[in-house]
Amino acid sequence: MRQPMIPSMTRLSCGTIRCQINGTYVPVAEFELAAGDWIYFSPKVLLWIDPATTLTIPQPARGRSTGMMEAHGPGHIGVAENRAGEVIALPLRRAQPVCVHPGRFLCATGNVKYRWRPSEVSYSTMAAEREYPAGRYLLNLTAAGRQGLVLLHASGDAFTRDLADSESVLVSPASLLYWEDTVDLSLHLEFPYVPGQHARRVFWRSSRIWLRVCGPGRVVIDSACGQAEDARTADRESFASWQRWDAPATTTTTRAE
């Protein structure tokens, strides 16, 4: 099942908040806010704003990080990422938590609570360094009181996988867009066969890092995942699973005279 993109000029609504998506190459989300309505976003995505709309920086006492900015109605505001892609709408039911990959969040209505959660997917190297393939922190979002709306920016096409209980899929870490909180993430490393090298050296060299995404729950995958990341020399106790590829089988074909 493919996560549908939002065509240009599509109109969305959440309560009294109205939103229209304009453009296809670098889409812009334009909001019409009534009095009492507000959205929040990263300051870098702010494109334009009405003079009547009020911008504020949330106070730590309100439970929100100063890394976000709030726009309060009445008025209009436009937000957009500074790169090509498409906008994905994520409606949230009350008390429905989801996790979003860093760099994919565009904006959300004010009733959507968020917090940065430390990533549990990591591995340590022989140099005592800790690596975080999916990012050191993940954005956790939950709608409070009523349905909320979150807009995400996908760098490519987005595809949905609804995983059954204990069903899993291997995903490139950079291509994970968002996933439900019921989904479990762990690390999987693959070790290649390298001709002419000692088996011990081959074992400690990783060729590919994967995220093992295990259900139940929904996961959405971004097709523009960037270059695959290689692992450094890893401590085997710090990841969930691994696979060592043996030498390929060789066959000899005898041609009949």
Comparing CA positions, the residue from 10, 156, 20, 16 lying closest to residue 83 is 156
Is the Cβ–Cβ distance between 170 and 221 less than 8 Å? no
> pTM here?
0.80
**What pLDDT is recorded for position 57?**
86
User: Which among 2-11, 28-37, 94-103 has the top mean pLDDT?
Assistant: 28-37
pLDDT per residue as tens digits for the range 131-173: 788 888 889 999 988 889 999 998 878 889 999 999 999 998 8
CA 14 → CA 25, 31, 55, distances in Å?
25, 11, 20
Of 64, 78, 70, 71, nearest in space to 19 by CA: 78
- Residue-level pLDDT at 4: 61
**Rounded Cα–Cα distance for residues 37 and 17 (Å):** 7
Contact in structure between 156 and 169 (CB atoms under 8 Å):
no
Give yes or no for residue 203 having a pLDDT over 50: no
Report the alpha-carbon distance of residue 104 to residue 97 in Å, rounded. Answer: 16
Least confident of 27-41, 94-108, 218-232: 218-232
Task: Give tens-digit pLDDT for 42-57.
Answer: 999 999 999 999 999 8
Tokens found for residue 66 = 């100063």
The residue among 129 and 229 whose pLDDT is bigger is 129
Q: Is the pLDDT of residue 253 over 60?
A: no
Pairwise pLDDT comparison (205 vs 87), residue with the higher score: 87
Kindly report the three-state secondary structure assignment for every residue of the chain.
CEECCCCCCEEEEECCEEEEEECCCCCEEEEEECCCCEEEECHHHEEEECCCCEEECCCHHHCCCCCCEEEECCEEEEECCCCCCEEEEEEECECCCEEECCCCEEEEECCEEEEEEECCCCEEECCCCEECCCCCEEEEEEECCCCEEEEEEECCCEEEEEECCCCEEEECHHHEEEEECCCEEEEEEEECCCCCCCHHHHHCCCCEEEEEEECCEEEEEECCCCCCCCCCCECHHHCCEEEECCCCCCCCCCCCC
Residue 202 pLDDT grade (very low, low, confident, very high; cuts 50, 70, 90)? very low
- Exposure string of 204-213, with b = 16+ CB inside 10 Å and e = fewer, is ebbebbbbbb
Place of tokens 């997917």: 121
Nearest CA to 172 out of 121, 144, 133 is that of 133
Does residue 200 register a pLDDT over 60?
no
